[in-house]
Copies of this chain bind each other. A is one copy, B any other.
Amino acid sequence: MPNPAKASGSSGRRAQAARNDSAIVDAARAVFLDDPKAPVSAVASRAGVGISALYRRYGGKEDLLRQVCHDGLRRYLTEAQESLAEEDGWQAFTSFLRRLVDADLHSLTVHLAGSFAPTPEMAADAARASELAALVTRRAHESGRLRADFAAADIVLILEGCAAVRFPDPERARLLRRRYLALQLDGLDTAGPAADGPELPGRPASEEELSRRWRS
């Protein structure tokens, strides 16, 4: 019987297996974030392991997808709860959206759903996520800063829109998504808060960045 105590170092078969555990989920998250239909082999090669290392851990592609998506959903819940810790309702609302957009949690959950059979636990977590979104929205409304005709269901539109901003460089993508989110929060019309509010973060996409996307 293997003795875990002797394998706590950074070398050894057991340690490599542990490292592979996280390397595989990390790779899966990155790969499926980029393309929900990516082949399993892409995950393996990105993780720097063979295919068997992956199939030893998961019953199949669906298992892996489910894992990645459920991780994302759990992260969604914790981010939502943390944002609710904000005193001000409007601050909680903006913080909520910024957290979700920064971590690309919409891509990690909604865009992956449908490619696997959800577990009952996932369904429960998804319902909980809906409740939290409604709660954040209610508090924002109560603060008086959120326009009255904005509904909790509209959050999905915003998240979907931000998730649609895709760039080869993840860092650039995140910055542009922040810019886009800020645009939506502030409004475009100078008769609005833009007149004396903060400027948009980051720079607009350059002509070159934009045109490169016509090739890939």
Contacts and interface: CB of A to CB of B under 8 A. Distances in A.
Interface of A: 110, 113-114, 118, 126, 130, 144-154, 156-158, 160-165, 176, 179-180, 183-195, 199-200, 204-207, 210, 213-216
DSSP class of A's interface residues: helix, strand, loop or mixed? loop
Contacts of A151: 204
B164 A207 contact: no
A208 B110 CA distance: 15
A205 B150 contact: no
A153 B183 contact: no
A195 B118 CA distance: 42
A208 to B, nearest CB: 10
A91 to B, nearest CB: 12
A187 B188 contact: yes
A183 B184 CA distance: 7
A114 B168 CA distance: 15
Nearest to A161: B161
27 contacts: A110-B213, A114-B216, A147-B189, A147-B194, A147-B200, A148-B190, A150-B183, A153-B207, A154-B200, A154-B205, A156-B210, A157-B165, A157-B180, A157-B205, A158-B183, A160-B164, A161-B161, A161-B165, A163-B164, A164-B164, A183-B184, A184-B188, A185-B188, A187-B187, A189-B192, A191-B192, A192-B192
